Amino acid sequence: MGDTMSSDTPHPVTRRQFASCTAAAAAGFLLTACGPRRLREVPKARLRSMLDDLEREYSKTYGKAVTVSDTPAADGVVFAYALDISRCIGCRRCVYACVDENNQSRDPQVHWIRVLSMDKERGIDFAHADAYYDAKEVPQDGHFYVPVACQQCRNPPCTKVCPVGATWAEKDGIVVIDYDWCIGCRCCMAACPYGARHFNWSDAGIPNEQVNPAMHYLGNRPRPRGVVEKCTFCIQRVRKGRYPACVEACPVGARKFGNLLDPESEIRYIIEHKRVLVLKEELNTMPKFFYFYGT
Amino acid sequence: MRRVPFVLVFIAGALASGYGAAGVRPPQEERRPAQAAPGARIQVPPPPFSDGIFPCSECHNKDMPPNRTRRELTDMHVDIVLKHDETHRWCLDCHDADNRDQLHLASGEGVPFSESYRLCGQCHGEKYRDWRAGVHGRRVGQWNGQKEYLLCAHCHNPHEPRFRALEPKPAPRRPSRSTGVRSH
Ligand code: SF4
Ligand code: SF4
């Protein structure tokens, strides 16, 4: 695994990490045994009143009407994503659309999408990928681009290692994090083979006028310092039927999204008609994020 | 025994519908996304005309009889560079000489600019099929409902369709010690 996919994920598990993960597990056990409840266990009415409190708090902080939705997963829906590697030109429009939509910290900078530039001659090769390419114009000769964010694994290593159960896969397949329950131990970051999880080193520095007020409690509400965050397929949008922000932002239409269970969806059309691959297939994470060649 | 008749009915049904083996799915070609039914109109934003150029009949009216000779334009539209199979075609292969406010197919059938995809689809059949299925090109709207497709011409200049290079957005900042994020 190359450094570009995990530049904020120290990969070899060190003794110290192991120790802190173990300590975290112990703390988690105590919390679970006698602490407050996790959001996913809170009864619906209670959750709504908690979110009403949050709405009031955020509205006051950001000086605008903020809504915090609790739209649950719909029946018969499992979300999946597909990205056309033969179209992506590496323009990073998706990266910044994501930052704006999902209230990612501007300073220090958090990007859920990382666009990797790769050599056409080498093919997909993370050891030689570059996320920091700088160019006057893209695509650059001899390169192609592979944007990487959370792959929404069906067999997610990240949720298994969480000592407190603060991250899990929802019924519609979105892997989410309870920001109130996360203890910031970062075990999940070490476990994710895609470098998809990011840690908040400080409170999100977002100018009030840039805050997106349409929030979901498991998605883009501002994360406090000390918790982990990642792509949620724009849970606040897709649970309301909309496309994720990156799908609409991509100028070349490389990004496709839909319901894996719907045989009429774009996603199914791609899986059935195109050459499709997933990243690091050999790890058996079973991503629901597919890459394909449209041409 | 209730099961036997059911199995028989199933096999008979499978045979009747033309598939010998039980449990065969229809071939993929037949399973098109519903919104892509052939001939169905597709919701698109207005075509991307240059400012003040449409309707074409403002200038191309009866005082300007069509000159159907293939030639290099020198008086008007000189800014248009034709780099789209230009050895074989020119303006009137796509623009309609009799009704200047529309295009026409190879068959001569007129096509409004808002349905120009039908014209493009004559040559680019595979792309057209993918576009209708929502797989080539851009869409906005609902993943499970109303969507708006962009026309081919919104992204590709029809006279010079190769996609233009873009300036990328800034590279991410490299992680550093001071932000606490390890770089390696
Ligand atoms: S990509 Fe990483 S964060 Fe996302 S589900 Fe898979 S292991 Fe978890
Ligand atoms: S916006 Fe589209 S073309 Fe640009 S980097 Fe993202 S996926 Fe690639």
pLDDT tens-digit series, residues B93-115:
999 999 999 999 999 999 999 99
Q: What backbone torsions phi and psi does residue A292 show, to the nearest 5 degrees?
A: -145, 165
What pLDDT, on a 0 to 100 scale, did the predictor assign at position B43? 82
For residue B99, with 0-12 CB atoms within 10 Å meaning exposed, 13-18 middle and 19 or more buried, which class applies? middle
Sign of CA dihedral A201, A206, A212, A217: positive
A178-198 CB burial, b ≥16 within 10 A, e <16: bbebbbebbbbbbbbbbbbbb
Checking if the pLDDT of B16 tops 90, the result is no
pLDDT of residue B7: 40
Give pLDDT, residue A90.
98
The residue-averaged pLDDT of A157-179 equals: 97
d(CA A243, CA A223): 23
- Amino acid identity of A75? D
Q: Would residue B180 be called left, alpha or beta, if left means φ above 0 and alpha means ψ between -120 and 50 degrees?
A: left
Q: Which of B28, B35, B143, B177 to mutate to test the interface with A (most CBs of A within 10 A)?
A: B143
State the Cα–Cα distance between residues A13 and A211, nearest whole angstrom.
36
Whole-number mean pLDDT of chain A? Answer: 91
ipTM: 0.84
In this prediction, residue B27 carries a pLDDT of: 43
- pLDDT at residue A7 in the model: 47
Residues 6+ apart with CB under 8 A from B69: none
Q: What angle do CA B89, B95, B98 make, to 5 degrees?
A: 125
Write the residue with the smallest CA distance to atom 2 of ligand 2.
Answer: A250
Report whether pLDDT(B176) > 50: yes
Greatest alpha-carbon span in chain B:
86
Range of lowest pLDDT (A133-147, A228-242, B14-28, B74-88): B14-28
Q: What is the pTM of this model?
A: 0.83
Q: Which tokens sit at B36?
A: 């892509």
Per-residue pLDDT for A28 more than 60? no
The one-letter amino acid code at A84 reads: D
Q: Which helix (H) or strand (E) holds B53?
A: none
CA quadruple A183, A69, A238, A207: dihedral positive or negative? negative
Q: Does residue A201 contact residue A184 with C-beta atoms inside 8 Å?
A: no
Nearest 5°: phi and psi at B148? -115, 130
Which residue did the predictor score with more confidence, B129 or A22? B129
Q: Return the number of CB contacts < 8 Å for A and B.
A: 124
d(CA B25, CA B43): 31
pLDDT at A23: 67
Contact B22, B11 (CB under 8 A): yes
> Taking Cα atoms as reference points, which of A42, A26, A15, A58 lies closest to residue A190?
A15
Give B-chain residues touching A92 at CB under 8 angstroms.
168-171
Q: Is B30 on the interface with A (CB under 8 A)?
A: no
Count the alpha carbons within 13 Å of A159 in the hemisphere toward its beta carbon: 18
- Compute the distance from residue B166 Cα to the ligand 2 centre, in Å: 11
Say what the pLDDT of residue B50 is: 84
What is the reported pLDDT for B4? 43
- In chain B, the residue whose alpha carbon lies closest to the alpha carbon of A242 is B142
- CA distances B106 to A187, A279, B39, B93, B96, Å, are 62, 44, 17, 8, 11
First to last CA, chain A: 28
Q: Does any ligand 2 atom lie closer than 6 A to the CB of residue A115?
A: yes
Residues 6+ apart with CB under 8 A from A86: A144, A293, A294, A295
Examine the pLDDT at B182 and tell me if it is beyond 60.
no
Task: Using DSSP, state whether A97 is helix, strand or coil.
Answer: helix
The predicted pLDDT at position A18 comes to 64
Report d(CA A119, CA A261) in Å as an integer: 35
Q: Which residues pair with A68 in a beta bridge?
A: A215
pLDDT tens digit string along A210-263? 999 999 999 999 999 999 999 999 999 999 999 999 999 999 999 999 999 999
pLDDT one-digit tens code per residue, A181-204: 999 999 999 999 999 999 999 987
B112: preceding bond cis by omega (within 30 degrees): no
CB contact under 8 A, B172 and A131: yes
Average pLDDT over residues A161-175: 97
Q: Which ligand is nearest to the CA of A254?
A: 2
Cα separation of B153 and A286, whole Å? 37
* Atom 8 in ligand 1: residue holding the nearest Cα: A158
SS3 B13: helix
* Cα B144 to Cα B33: distance, rounded to the nearest angstrom: 12
Cβ-Cβ contacts under 8 Å, B135 against chain A: 84, 256, 266, 269-270, 273-274, 294
**The token pair that represents B184 in the structure block:** 């390696």
Q: What is the pLDDT of residue A26?
A: 62
Name the residue among A133, A134, A294 with its Cβ closest to that of B130: A294
Of A40-44, A167-171, B168-172, which gets the smallest average pLDDT?
A40-44
CB B96 within 8 A of CB B103: yes
User: Which pLDDT belongs to residue B42?
Assistant: 78
pLDDT category of residue B75 using cuts at 50, 70 and 90? confident
Mean pLDDT (chain B) is 79
Q: What are the pLDDT digits (tens) for A30-80?
A: 545 455 678 888 899 999 999 999 999 999 999 999 999 999 999 999 999
Task: Give residue B24's pLDDT band: very low, low, confident or very high (50, 70, 90).
Answer: very low
* Residues on chain B touching A259 (C-beta within 8 angstroms): 143-144
Q: Pseudo-torsion of CA A10, A11, A14, A20, nearest 10°?
A: 60
Q: Mention every residue, 6+ apart, whose C-beta is less than 8 A from residue A223.
A: A103, A105, A179, A200, A204, A229
Touching check for A265 and chain B: CB below 8 Å? yes
Distances (CA, A) of A36 to A31, A41, B33: 7, 10, 47
Whether residue B36 is predicted with pLDDT greater than 90 in this model: the reply is no
Query: In this predicted model, which residue has the larger pLDDT, B41 or B28?
Result: B41
pLDDT at residue B31 tops 50: no
Atom number in ligand 1 closest to CA A287: 6
pLDDT at A134: 95
Q: Please, which residues have CB within 8 angstroms of residue A235's CB and are 6 or more apart in sequence? A: A174, A176, A216, A218, A219, A220
